[in-house]
């Protein structure tokens, strides 16, 4: 016989809510953690102390009687002394020549030889004209911030331009001496036509 609706309603309200049993869950997690700890592979980290070679851009003390040369090659810029050889090798960055590293090195050379004003820029064949101008700018001056103003400080403004010596690979193991023509010597005033030509042909140099 079907019970009345009121009775069924009272039975529903009189039921106790279901209880959440946590003990079985705790047991499962205990077994799981124990299993993971027993099967885990523990690795030991070993720290090795390596003696790495010094960076090529590390400052090398220029010799007395420095004859400063900046050689521009396809994949690097090299600062050298004409008498003793290379002082710093600056490989290209993904963006091109590392002009900032060149400026920083020349600033340290200038601090060592504050009275020196001359330098030679030696170029490989087919060096872009814009590259020549940018290298000359970096050799001549560098920018210094004074308060809110940016001023230019002098490095080596008396520049001579010549041909870079051939690499040993190109000459079969011998290196030909650099050729610097006296007629190629430039001063800050003589560089003005170069900047004007670059500005009219390719846009102003930054």
Region of poorest pLDDT, from 74-78, 179-183, 199-203:
179-183
Highest mean pLDDT among 2-6, 17-21, 137-141, 165-169: 137-141
Distance CA 198, CA 44 (A): 61
Question: Is the pLDDT reported for residue 46 higher than 60?
Answer: no
Locus of tokens 């309603």: 9
Closest to 76 in 3D by CA, of 21, 4, 135, 150: 135
Question: Is the pLDDT reported for residue 50 higher than 90?
Answer: no
Closest to 59 in 3D by CA, of 115, 92, 102: 102
Q: Which 3 state secondary structure label does DSSP give 202?
A: helix
Question: Is the pLDDT reported for residue 182 higher than 50?
Answer: no
| Whole-structure pTM value | 0.56
Closest to 88 in 3D by CA, of 127, 123, 49, 59: 59
Residue 134 confidence (pLDDT) = 92
Residue 143 confidence (pLDDT) = 86
Residue 43 confidence (pLDDT) = 58
Give the residue numbers spanning the domain of 106: 1-206
Distance CA 121, CA 161 (A): 5
Region of poorest pLDDT, from 127-136, 144-153, 161-170, 190-199:
190-199
Question: Is the pLDDT reported for residue 15 higher than 70?
Answer: no
Residue 193 confidence (pLDDT) = 56
Q: Number of structural domains, the chain?
A: 1
DSSP 183: G
Mean pLDDT of all residues belonging to the chain: 75
Residues in the chain: 206
For residue 124, with 0-12 CB atoms within 10 Å meaning exposed, 13-18 middle and 19 or more buried, which class applies? middle
pLDDT tens, 190-203? 555 555 554 555 44
- CA-to-CA separations, 16 to 3, 9, 13, 125, in angstroms, rounded: 21, 14, 8, 95
């Amino acid at each position: 016989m079907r019970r009345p609706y009121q009775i069924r309603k009272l039975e529903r309200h009189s039921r106790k809510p279901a209880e959440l049993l946590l003990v079985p869950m705790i047991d499962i997690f205990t077994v799981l953690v124990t299993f993971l700890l027993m099967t885990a592979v523990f690795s030991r980290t070993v720290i090795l102390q390596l003696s790495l070679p010094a960076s090529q851009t590390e400052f090398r003390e220029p010799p007395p009687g420095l004859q400063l040369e900046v050689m521009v090659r396809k994949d690097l810029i090299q600062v050298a002394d004409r008498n003793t050889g290379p002082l710093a090798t600056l490989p290209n960055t993904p963006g091109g020549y590392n002009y900032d590293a060149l400026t920083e090195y020349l600033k340290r050379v200038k601090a060592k030889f504050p009275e020196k004003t001359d330098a030679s820029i030696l170029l490989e064949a087919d060096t872009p004209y814009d590259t020549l101008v940018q290298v000359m700018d970096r050799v001549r001056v560098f920018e210094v911030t004074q308060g809110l103003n940016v001023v230019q400080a002098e490095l080596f403004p008396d520049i001579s331009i010549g041909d870079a010596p051939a690499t040993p690979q190109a000459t079969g193991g011998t290196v030909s001496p650099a050729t610097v023509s006296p007629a190629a010597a430039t001063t800050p005033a003589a560089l003005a036509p170069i900047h004007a030509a670059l500005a009219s042909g390719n846009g102003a140099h930054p």
